[in-house]
Amino acid sequence: MRRRTFLATSLAAATFPQFAGAQAAAYDPTPQMVSVKARYAPGELIVLPRSHYLYLVTAPGRAMRYGVGVGRAGLEFTGKANIAVKKEWPTWRPTDEMIEREPETYKRFIGNTDAQPGGPGNPLGARALYLFQNGRDTFYRIHGTTEPGSIGRSVSNGCIRMLNAHVVDLYERVPIGTTVTVL
């Protein structure tokens, strides 16, 4: 077992003890109610990138669990943030860093300020929750995706992806100001 795997597994077991000692189950992105430690406040979002799950704490010791896709190595977000903006069918434009990293992929955005309109073909999907720290946009989002096969994987440019139906459900459940902790 690699050190990284050991640490991630240990953190998950300490945070969500209902999984400690359990056999490794097949990954299931389907939203479902699960037990969590009671120290998390109702309404708080907790993301465990290594297990590819997001938890919306609904009551002390209870949470709705959703499957997510997260940032690939070196691009992941960690820490605390707040949802400061929520958008339905958001527009999208790659960040300057994304364009610099992958100019061939994003060449249509080089030298202009174009943005892709919202809609079914937009990479942000049906909804987006914008993460801010200290009143400043982190440029990380919790959003839908046009790539459902990316859920359960670490492949994004840092954002937290959800299936469109799941992000619509989450969008309706969380208000502006919701605390998001990515461990």
Residues annotated as catalytic are 143, 159
C-alpha distance from residue 7 to each of 1, 13, 20, 47, 66 (Å)? 10, 10, 13, 16, 22
Residue pair 52/70 in contact (Cβ under 8 Å)? The answer is yes
> b vs e for 44-70, b when ≥16 Cβ sit within 10 Å of the residue's Cβ?
bbbbbbbbbbbbbbeeeebbbbbbbbb
Residue pair 69/154 in contact (Cβ under 8 Å)? The answer is yes
Report residue 95 as tokens: 């960040």
- CA-closest candidate to residue 13, choices 37, 31, 32, 47: 37
